[in-house]
């Protein structure tokens, strides 16, 4: 929009007429933009081999590709640093792009120009990646139309930049594994994570009670207050969850039918121990890097179910239109003030080293967002 606005043009056609005089106007959009694209340089965070992100990621200049008939030129606005981004760079994720690769699986950009066959987006629109592996840690890029989904440009920038992964994961886990009704309980660990904060807010919007497990820390009361301000009903530490007194806790609070596990190890065992008979624990991460250990007696006598969730697999099993519908549902929650972005710290792209290192620190309370 800023390109068209600066030139007094409202449509791509008007933009082409102002950029290119009549003698050059016969070329299609792809050709028209290719000359300038070939001269453009893009700053991007690139890794050529897997390893420690702080060591293998470098800020480099790349050449911007020409805009083809089905392509979209996007100026990236903001992109977060997620745990999956770190795992992908380390080489221990379920989806690994061909190397060298640009980091980043999530973010929001603004459309600058489109090819002649593009119909679903236009200059000025905000767009997010349709799938992981797109490489969002760069100032601009040319993507295929199918690789992008448009989002409303009237939602906060941080919400748009963090919309496509964590809130989607939270919503699907709440909806797809148990038939929960208003008043039912959900228990989760890693409650301060991006997914955890989204679970709290979406569950509150659905009328569900959340029991939120976090690691003990010096500022535990500050964290507790922040999560309760998001809509958390109960916040307990890992240590408190293991105490005998929790039996009294569940005399007043319904036992959860659903547990969401992002940690593994002892933490996941405790979640299972407090599930209601017939309940389900969904594992979507393994921060402790320890296996999920399930008691045989719990599986037999309480008939508990163990499931896994990976958003990339959900996308493979569902159509692009279904993912678009999910995004619009979340945008509606944002518009209604029921879903906000996680606590974020913004960093300029050139300060990527600090952002990467901060994202890998223990007890992280703020998501790092790269501003382009």
Q: Which residues are known catalytic residues?
A: 93
Rounded to an integer, what distance in angstroms lies between the CA atom of residue 164 and that of residue 159? 9
Rounded to an integer, what distance in angstroms lies between the CA atom of residue 195 and that of residue 179? 20
Angle between helices 29-39 and 12-19 (to 10 degrees): 60
**Closest C-alpha to 142, from 264, 58, 222, 36:** 36
Reported residue count of the chain is 372
What separation in angstroms does the CA of 325 have from each of 116, 150, 277, 332, 336?
A: 26, 11, 33, 11, 17
Rounded to an integer, what distance in angstroms lies between the CA atom of residue 318 and that of residue 254? 33
CB burial of 125-148 (b: ≥16 within 10 Å; e: otherwise) equals bbbbbbbbbbbbbbbbbbbebebb
Output the CA angle 74-123-9, nearest 5 degrees. 135
9, exposed or middle or buried, with CB in 10 Å at 0-12, 13-18, 19+? middle
Q: 38 with 50: CB under 8 angstroms?
A: no
Cβ contacts of 172 within 8 Å, gap of 6 or more: 309, 311, 314, 326
> Measured over all CA atoms, what is the biggest interatomic distance in the chain, rounded to whole angstroms?
82
């Amino acid at each position: 929009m800023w390109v068209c606005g600066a030139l007094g043009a409202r449509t791509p056609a008007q933009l082409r007429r102002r950029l290119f005089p009549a003698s050059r106007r016969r070329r299609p959009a792809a050709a028209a933009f290719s000359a300038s694209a070939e001269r453009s340089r893009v700053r991007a965070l690139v890794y050529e081999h897997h390893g420690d992100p702080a060591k293998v990621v470098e800020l480099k200049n790349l050449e911007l590709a020409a805009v083809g008939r089905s392509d979209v030129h996007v100026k990236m606005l903001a992109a977060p640093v997620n745990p999956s981004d770190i795992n992908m760079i380390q080489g221990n994720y379920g989806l690994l792009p061909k190397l060298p690769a640009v980091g980043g699986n999530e973010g929001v950009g603004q459309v600058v120009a489109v090819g002649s066959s593009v119909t679903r987006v236009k200059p000025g629109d905000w767009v997010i990646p349709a799938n992981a592996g797109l490489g969002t840690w760069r100032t601009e890029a040319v993507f295929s139309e199918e690789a992008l989904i448009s989002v409303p440009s009237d939602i906060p920038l941080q919400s748009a930049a963090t919309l496509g992964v964590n809130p989607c994961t939270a919503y699907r886990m709440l909806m797809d594994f148990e038939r929960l009704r208003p008043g039912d309980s959900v228990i989760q660990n890693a409650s301060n994570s991006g997914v955890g904060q989204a679970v709290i807010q979406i569950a509150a919007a659905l009328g569900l009670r959340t029991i939120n497990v976090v690691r003990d820390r010096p500022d535990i009361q500050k964290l507790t207050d922040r999560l309760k301000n998001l809509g958390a009903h109960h916040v307990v530490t890992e240590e408190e969850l293991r105490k005998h007194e929790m039996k009294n806790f569940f005399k007043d609070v319904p036992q959860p039918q659903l547990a969401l596990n992002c940690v593994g190890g002892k933490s996941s065992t405790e979640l299972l121990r407090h599930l209601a008979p017939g309940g389900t624990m969904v594992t979507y991460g393994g921060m402790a890097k320890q296996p999920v250990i399930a008691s045989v007696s719990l599986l037999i006598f309480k008939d508990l179910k163990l499931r896994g969730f990976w958003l990339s697999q959900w996308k493979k099993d569902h159509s692009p239109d279904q993912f678009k519908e999910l995004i619009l549902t979340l945008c509606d929650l944002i518009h209604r003030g029921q879903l906000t972005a996680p606590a974020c710290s913004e960093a300029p792209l050139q300060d990527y080293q600090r952002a990467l290192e901060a994202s890998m620190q223990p007890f992280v309370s703020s998501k790092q967002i790269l501003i382009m």
